[in-house]
Amino acid sequence: MCGIVGYTGTQEAAPILLEGLKKLEYRGYDSAGIAVLNDNLLAVSKVTGRIANLCEKTADGKNCPGTVGIGHTRWATHGAPTDTNAHPHMSNDGKFAVVHNGIIENYIALREELIQKGYHFDSETDTEVIVHLIEMYYTGDLKKAVIRMSARLCGSYALGVVCTDEPEKVYVVREASPLIIGVGVGENYFASDVTALVSYTRNAIYLDDGEFAEITPETIVVFNPAGHPIIKKISRITWDVQSAEKGGYEHFMLKEIVEQPRAIKAAIAPRIKNGDIALDEAELTTEYLESVNKIVITACGSAYYAGCAGKYAMEKLCRIPVQVELASELRYNDPLIDEHTLLIVLSQSGETADTIAAMKECKKRGAKTLAVVNVVGSTIANTADYTLYTWAGPEIAVATTKGYTTQVSVLYMFALYVAKKMNRIDKEHYEKLLKILSTLPKKVQETLDMNSAIPALAKKYHNADSMFFIGRNTDYAVALEGALKMKEISYIHAESYAAGELKHGTIALIEDHQPVIALCCNESIMEKTMSNIVEVKARGAEVLAVTFKDNQKMVPLADDMIFIPKMDAIFAAAVEIVPLQLLAYYVAKENGCDIDKPKNLAKSVTVE
């Protein structure tokens, strides 16, 4: 949720921290702060609101001289977004400052203990206990204090700590929250994700749970929880600087929508070799697949809806039952999962707390786990038995677009791969579907090209109080994600309904001019949805149909149409969602919404 950064070197730290925070702002953006060490004194600046306010307050960092520092951008959990609750938090003696991403679950007991010992608290945050614990345990050795402090914490945390007595050092600690060290020359960095590091270095060390590190300008020493130094591999960051920047687009979201043909190509093309699918990272044996009696897909948010879209292809092609479960539910459901279950975990960030917990629960019960993840080296990628990266590149807009379509595309590919391995598909059909799969990037490009009318349609629909998204089968899966896109960025109430369910309740809400977005891209069931369109039209609805270009059948029914190229429904969701992303984007733009950073949301939900 929150973003943290740190620097130790010979350059001025504050501008580097502010630049890093700007890149991390999508993780949380209600308040922000930095602490910089100068002449053995800590200068702390904090603001409510965006990083831009912090830049203003510090004159782009010029008011905070010093070459060592830490920074934070917050998504409030404990305590309102105020200057006082913003990080960094300071110890009572002014020697220590801490930034924290995560949640300290036992903070109430620790707070009481510390108050009894005479420490006073300025903020309402859970984080503040950390800095007082460090002060309490510090006897001239920060490493020892960090070990003792960490041993007292329950919960999730990525921490950055600085101390006036050890002025060149930054300590970082990781437990169930992402933390990456950027390796430089004569200077080093840390951050919650690589987007904050790529402008400075391509060499990174990914900390694992329980590990901590002492970073100076010249050295990085990583320790296990007992404090013994360990050797860590330096990984190469492959994301480039441009892909984490807007590149001339008004919003990251639009840029990421437009990037989808390239992203989907990167996800599927390298895995098609000699006319066949080669999943080198997830070589599942036929024998193992024969032992699987069900596939469970788990995820949160749009990733969950990507699972809903993938389920149709998977069941149809592999003839294995597929259940799609919300991770936040699955983790507490005492799930019926054993060694005959293949668990597929979907996550763009690879850090979603509920998804990680659900995965661990299912692993414990014997399931093999396959992760479909975008962020390299993330917790989910590292914990799963197999990982298929989606290779979408950095996704910065909070509302996912290319993250979703690449997840769906990888699921399609996996479905086809399993169907072949298990001999559930004949050669001709396999080749036909593989061809369709390889044309997904082209179909998405065509969809982008054929929908230039969407900004005008947004002008017509943007004043709606609510919208209904209806569809059947694969169209219904897309309706789920389409409605979510609309509500998260435009704040218009949007509900998705299986079209066949309308008569069981929702139709009572249809009255004059109620917008209904009807998804009709699945020919096998299109006539049925068309009947539902007639029903809502009879009650005054304004129908915007998503259908094939030149679908003449739809012309007399719908008030407006948006298009995808004609294609087999089995792999259509990755294409069909695209005009709905654009519609949500332009409606939100009409309504003057903060598209890349919708209110109350964060990109990476690392708390429960």
- Which sequence positions are flagged as catalytic? 2, 603
DSSP H or E run through 74: strand 68-74
- How many whole angstroms from its chain centre is CA 510? 34
**CB of 338 within 8 A of CB of 365?**
yes
HSE, CB side, 13 Å, CA atoms: give it for residue 39. Answer: 3
Give the three-class secondary structure for 263: helix
Q: How far apart are CB 106 and ligand G6P at their closest, in Å?
A: 26
Phi first, then psi: what are they for 411, rounded to 5°? -65, -40
Cα–Cα distance, 163 to 170 (Å, whole number): 8
Cα–Cα distance, 325 to 281 (Å, whole number): 24
> Quick one: 279 or 601, whose CB is closer to ligand G6P?
601
> Quick one: 75 or 171, whose CB is closer to ligand G6P?
75
> Quick one: 473 or 606, whose CB is closer to ligand G6P?
606
Q: How far apart are CB 401 and ligand G6P at their closest, in Å?
A: 9
Structure token digits, residue 596: 């890349």
Cα–Cα distance, 388 to 326 (Å, whole number): 20
Q: How far apart are CB 308 and ligand G6P at their closest, in Å?
A: 12
Determine the straight-line distance between the first and last CA of the chain, rounded to whole angstroms.
10
Q: How far apart are CB 184 and ligand G6P at their closest, in Å?
A: 28
Q: How far apart are CB 354 and ligand G6P at their closest, in Å?
A: 9
Give the three-class secondary structure for 73: strand
Spell out a b/e string for 245-260, using b for 16 or more CB atoms within 10 Å of the CB, else e. beeeeebbbbbbbbbb
Contacting positions for ligand G6P (CB under 6 A): 300-303, 347-349, 352, 355, 398-400, 601, 603-605
- Residues sharing a CB contact under 8 Å with residue 139, sequence separation 6 or more, in sequence order: 145
> Quick one: 300 or 572, whose CB is closer to ligand G6P?
300
Q: How far apart are CB 361 and ligand G6P at their closest, in Å?
A: 16
> Quick one: 2 or 567, whose CB is closer to ligand G6P?
2
Give the three-class secondary structure for 89: strand
- Residues sharing a CB contact under 8 Å with residue 295, sequence separation 6 or more, in sequence order: 314, 318, 320, 321, 322, 323, 341, 342, 343, 344
Q: How far apart are CB 236 and ligand G6P at their closest, in Å?
A: 22
> Quick one: 443 or 485, whose CB is closer to ligand G6P?
485
Give the start-end residues of each E strand in 253-404.
272-273, 276-277, 294-299, 322-326, 341-347, 368-373, 386-389
**CB of 178 within 8 A of CB of 379?**
yes
> Quick one: 87 or 603, whose CB is closer to ligand G6P?
603
Give residue number: closest CB to ligand G6P: 301
